[in-house]
Amino acid sequence: MIPARQTPESIQARKGRLQVPSLTAYDHPTARLLDEAGVPMLLVGDSLGMVVLGYPDTTSVTMADMRHHLRAVVRGASRALVGCDLPYRSYDTVEQAVANARLLMEEGAGFVKAEGGREILEQVKAIRAVGIPFCGHLGMLPQHVVEEGGKYRIKGRDEEGRRRLVEDARMLEAAGAFACVLELVTPPVAREITAACPRMVTIGIGSGPDCDGQILVTPDLVGGFPWFTPRFVVPRLKTGADIRDVVSGWVREVERGSNPVS
């Protein structure tokens, strides 16, 4: 039976049975449309920084930004489980991680997500210890891309990388993560992690088909950010190009004095 409101448990129960389609949302109307379309899990991702706020990467996104957009998404989603990213530098210490995770939960989040494995394990355990559902994020970590020289690189290509990713995934599962995003992980390693973690749902992005679910940045799926499309996404709509065409036509009509009413 489909629950009225998805929960971390209902998402977890899909493992090995039903894939988890997941999309990002940053505003009320999009969240409402995605919810009506039946997306079971929405993420207010800090990709917000690039696709909504116009920053070059995620490192300028603040807790205030996340809370503001999370509130709008929560108002739009009545059935989906809504999660929210802890932004860059908001979980450096255990105390900070718990305090900020609590703030996101107070705004209506159903879980929080943070990037990293063993290096944030104490933070994850502390978040779980106060009863907050947690989703991990392994592989390419956008919050660290500037430190890594600005390139979005595929992870898990060599043996050391593979081993570390599998170990990190097991540690996150043992710490109580109900799900984990695998971003730009080589497909064989994503498959290995999915099999190695019997309770944690893996949500792939650019990591091949053998995860427990897939997530995309919604503007990538609908062509809403036409200036950049990741290699692994084929946009299903041309939203950005269509807006440009419709608006430039309307501008010409108004300038000609044809006074369009619609």
Active-site amino acid positions: 183
Least distance in angstroms from the C-beta of 259 to ligand KIV: 42
234 versus 261: smaller Cβ distance to ligand KIV: 234
Least distance in angstroms from the C-beta of 16 to ligand KIV: 22
Measured distance CA(192)–CA(208) in Å, rounded: 12
Task: Check if the beta carbon of residue 218 is closer than 8 Å to that of residue 30.
Answer: yes
24 versus 186: smaller Cβ distance to ligand KIV: 24
127 versus 215: smaller Cβ distance to ligand KIV: 215
Task: Check if the beta carbon of residue 30 is closer than 8 Å to that of residue 76.
Answer: yes
Checking phi first, is residue 83 left (phi over 0); if not, alpha (psi -120 to 50) or beta? beta
Report the residue closest to ligand KIV, judged by CB: 45
Quote the longest CA-to-CA distance of the chain. Answer: 67
Least distance in angstroms from the C-beta of 142 to ligand KIV: 6
126 versus 142: smaller Cβ distance to ligand KIV: 142
Measured distance CA(190)–CA(137) in Å, rounded: 12
Q: Whose structure tokens read 């932004």?
A: 87
Query: What are the residues binding ligand KIV (CB under 6 A)?
Result: 24, 43, 45-47, 85, 137, 181, 205, 215, 217
Structure tokens at 169: 């995934």
Least distance in angstroms from the C-beta of 86 to ligand KIV: 11
Least distance in angstroms from the C-beta of 58 to ligand KIV: 6
- CA atoms within 13 Å, Cβ hemisphere of 79: 13
Nearest to 200 by CA among 180, 186, 182, 181: 180
Distance of CA 132 to the CA centre of its chain: 17
47 versus 90: smaller Cβ distance to ligand KIV: 47
CA angle 86, 124, 216 (to 5 degrees): 45
